[in-house]
A and B are shown apart, each in its own frame.
Chain A
Amino acid sequence: MKDYYDVIVVGGGPTGSTAARLAAEGGVKVLLLEKDREIGIPVRCGEAVGEKGISKIVELKEEWIANHIKGLRLVAPDGTKVKVHHEDVGFVLDRKRFDYDLAMNAANAGAEVVTKAYAFGLLTENGTVTGVKVQYIGKQYDIRSKIVIGADGVESRVGRWAGLKTNLKLKDVETCAQMTATNINIDQNYCDFYFSSDIAPGGYLWVFPKNKNTANIGLGLAGDKAQNKSPLSYLKDFMKSNFPDASVLTTVAGGVPVAPYTENIVSNGLMLVGDAAHQSNPISGGGIVLGMLAAQIAGRIASEAVKENNVSEQRLSQYVKEWEKAGGSNHRRAYRLKESVAKLTDDDLNKTAAAIQKKPEDKHTVVNIFKAALINQPKLIPDIFKIFLG
């Protein structure tokens, strides 16, 4: 580590590595800081991504893909299983490899990557962020920079240190527990989503297969619905009744922002990306693709701003403008849908599933399912079309 870089990225997840790579490719000096001992672990993620989205951002390597998914199934509270007719199939990734290689790509593009490096504060001068305070193997360092990019995940504090209010409301975070379980009887071709107030109130439970008898099985509860029983207890109950003979290879906790769109992600010398900027999809909680999309924009603009020697909030807000076009307007719509979906009762969900099952299978599209679920809210129909059909 030196005492100055043009751009310092805090956080070595997929969004931090992507921002670091793009900035380095722009020809500026980049430092990427990760607090943990190894990039890529622990994996607090279901690891599912849509093929269309991810392949626009990176050239996929076969080693990153644990399993190719052919379809999605939704399970209603009464057990009705609806097969979704869906164009965009996807993958369950091996995020250990994925995150690791993304950081390596950033390094190969010229960024310096450091692990066990914990950012614990910012340097500021006259209202501009001018660097990061870092704790690295028992010693503290002040490292100066022109731009700091906060890619420090759901637990982000970088923005707060610069005065941006990024803490989440309880209802805008999904609190999650996940197990990777093997020796289970699943269909490797399908990602399953269970909706029920008994299984995961204010969220859903997922079964994302990693191979023929192994899956990431996890659930998220709305943060305001987890007070009496924790996500881990809900998950243990589900495992006991559905996969009593499973061997559990990993057990993790995690949080995902399912929050309103926010433009409050830049200030003088500072940008936020990924979960730190609440860019994950408020309906699904998926944040890999969206965060990396934003990180590409942020990394490129950071390098341009450094070269122009103008890191003012106004210059950096070019990132917000481009992100608004790429993902922001859809995020607003998705949040409106989330708020309405959150009000659906188990009875509403059962009725929706029954109504869909009456239609031929090629009509079981995401759009039709949301339309049936929100039948009493015709105002939301344009949002549904725009989100899922673009």
Chain B
Amino acid sequence: MIKIKKDLCDFCGTCVSVCPDDAIELFETRVIINNEICTDCLRCVKVCPFDVLEAGS
């Protein structure tokens, strides 16, 4: 499961652009990861410009 540090997020959508599963929803100032489709590939974690995302357990 990916953890979102919401306070750090700038809502830029870079995570969405690399998500192979279309598991990330971004609407103005709201970002949601759908854990039912997320396969924990961690691409979003690697690419986030502001270190908002974290691999969780």
Q: Are B14 and A175 in contact (CB under 8 A)?
A: yes
| Interface 1/0 per residue, A152-172 and B, CB below 8 Å | 011111001100000111100
B20 surroundings in chain A (CB, below 8 A):
167
* CB pair A175 B27 closer than 8 Å: no
A interface secondary structure, majority: mixed
Q: Is the CB of B49 within 8 A of A154?
A: no
**Is B40 on the interface with A (CB-CB < 8 A)?**
no
On chain B, the residues within 8 Å of A176 by CB distance are 14, 49
Interface members, chain A 185-229 (any B CB < 8 Å)? 223-224, 226-227
The contact size tier of chain B is: 20 to 34
B46 touches A223 (CB 8 A): yes
In Å, the complex CA distance between A265 and B43 comes to 23
- Known contacts A135-B27, A254-B12, A255-B12; A173 and B50 CB within 8 A of each other: no
Once bound together, how far apart are the Cα atoms of A177 and B47, in whole Å?
12
Query: CB within 8 A of A253: which of B18, B43, B46, B50?
Result: B50
- Tell me the bound Cα distance from A224 to B47 in angstroms: 7
The answer to whether B35 has its CB under 8 Å from any CB of chain A is: no
Contacts of B48 in A (CB 8 A): 175, 226, 230, 253
B47 surroundings in chain A (CB, below 8 A): 170, 173, 175, 223, 226, 255
In contact, A173 and B17 (Cβ under 8 angstroms): yes
**Residues of chain B with a CB closer than 8 A to A118's CB:** 27-28
**A260 on the B face (CB < 8 A):** no
Q: A44-B12, A230-B51 are in contact. Are A170 and B46 (CB under 8 A)?
A: yes
In the complex, chain A residues 222-274 whose Cβ is within 8 Å of any chain B Cβ: 223-224, 226-227, 230-233, 251-255, 257
A155 touches B50 (CB 8 A): no
Whose C-beta in chain B lies nearest to the C-beta of A251?
Answer: B10
Q: In the complex, what's the smallest C-beta–C-beta distance from B4 to chain A, in angstroms? A: 14
Chain A residues within an 8 Å CB radius of B28: 35-37, 116, 118
Closest to B43 in A: A170
A12-50 at interface with B (beta carbon < 8 Å): 35-37, 42, 44
| Chain A, residue nearest B52 (CB) | A253
Residues on the B chain within 8 Å of A253, using CB: 10, 12, 14, 48-50
Task: Known pairs A231-B50, A253-B14; list 4 more (Cβ under 8 Å).
Answer: A154-B17, A170-B18, A170-B47, A232-B49
Contact sample, A vs B, 26 pairs, CB 8 Å cutoff:
A120-B25, A154-B13, A154-B16, A155-B26, A157-B16, A161-B22, A167-B20, A170-B43, A170-B47, A173-B47, A175-B14, A175-B48, A177-B50, A223-B18, A224-B46, A227-B46, A231-B49, A232-B50, A232-B51, A253-B10, A253-B48, A253-B49, A254-B12, A255-B13, A255-B14, A255-B49
Q: Which positions in B face A, CB cutoff 8 Å? A: 10, 12-14, 16-20, 22, 25-28, 43, 46-51
